Chain A
């Protein structure tokens, strides 16, 4: 087995990007993701790669569009307010059908907010990353190892579907250190016949463009893209079940909230309360089917979030409001404690029979 090393989430993610073949990193520093940029600044020159600290987040995402157009694996990273600045570029990436990896190590908002962990960019990542009809693949790591694995998966899925993958981490995942194995798997690569990387005079030009003034044609582009999105919803949903076999209460949580929830589940089980967890790993596509199936077995759900309650809307939609969904949350950079989650589990446990 490969050697385990102790790394910060941000640094492990950056090394994973390099392993995945990324040789172009364009970014702008912001806490709590600055270690990604710092690591890239050190590593990229050693491997003939490009590290560029742009003059702004907006410049960085537009440079990403440029590199992605040539078919090279490219990434940028930021934290919440910085991602908001990139939103126009994210929409252009979608409009141009370009693959890229964008990392958001979230901090508390709105506005400049704070620098402590948060998950309050859930809506932004899954529903409203920019203008126009489009989706991003959104991956939510819950350990430093997953920061590595999902970075690689993110690049692969981005190339496979020619769209943006976002790693939606939180400050905890970026800042914490855990043992991690770096070379875990084979890296998949994809042919990119669409890339604007020189014709050698042997083929017509490839044109990368999001402008389409012909309404009928623009409608077709959108419909085609959404056909692909439904394929992704069918094939790329990732989630993890924890103690769901006999569960009467189902926690739904991702990232650090899922880590805290594990402690709460163990404490509740010790008290005889049958509780389990469905942890979405992809936030888009959202694991609707397993949640709907769970709705027939459990009496209530608890959505654990570092937001005022964003994912809870997707949980209610997924289960078609068949069962009550409670919210256990803290915001502003505070992480709910296992005791707080346990209290909500106990509240859910008092909520009547399985009907």
Chain B
């Protein structure tokens, strides 16, 4: 069972990244739940999103002890680092978070997702870049299924966006520290 927590600022595409993972899990015929923590502000507030993927029916949809934490800003890492299950994974957007993870019982990956996004003229797609790394390292979903799931969450009318999102996942997937 994967209990994934993606956390950052509103506007970083936190909820969308979670939705993409949830859709892929659905296509794999897994049990899945997606729950946003919702704030009244559209941008700038904190946003996080719980995704549970399981073979068994899911009880609580709230992820309080994640197996995978994706931290896209400093406050999120500060808040959730201690909650990650031992042996779990922490993914850090190192262009926005300068400090290192202090835990030694978890697998940690640093990726400058926001920097990579702007280098590749993909402003706003740091979320998908960091997900690429998650897919590579945490075995959450098979990489070859990415286009299929993306087709479900990006409307066919926005073909350019679809390709761009898939490319962003690839950049993260192939990124070597």
Contacts and interface: CB of A to CB of B under 8 A. Distances in A.
A175 B61 CA distance: 11
Contact of A263 (B19, B31, B59): B59
A205 interface: no
Given A172-B35, A177-B19, A179-B32, A4 B40 contact: no
Contacts of A171: 38
B23 A6 contact: yes
B61 A6 contact: no
B26 A259 contact: no
B120 interface: no
A259 B38 contact: no
B62 A335 contact: yes
A115 B37 CA distance: 10
A332 to B, nearest CB: 14
Interface residues of A, number: 24
A338 B58 CA distance: 13
B40 A115 contact: yes
Q: How many interface residues does chain B have, given as a range? A: 10 to 19
Contacts of A278: none
B34 A31 contact: no
A128 interface: no
Interface in B75-95: none
Contact of A178 (B19, B33, B40, B62): B33
Contacts of B58: 178, 259
Interface in A220-277: 256, 259-263, 266
B36 interface: yes
B64 A266 contact: no
Which residue, of B26, B59, B64, B152, has the highest number of chain A Cβ atoms within 10 A? B59
Interface of B: 19, 22-23, 26, 31-36, 38, 40, 58-62, 64, 152
30 contacts: A5-B26, A6-B19, A6-B22, A6-B23, A6-B26, A6-B34, A6-B152, A31-B40, A32-B38, A171-B38, A172-B61, A172-B62, A175-B35, A176-B35, A176-B36, A177-B33, A177-B34, A177-B35, A178-B32, A178-B33, A178-B34, A178-B58, A178-B61, A179-B26, A179-B32, A259-B61, A260-B62, A263-B60, A337-B62, A337-B64
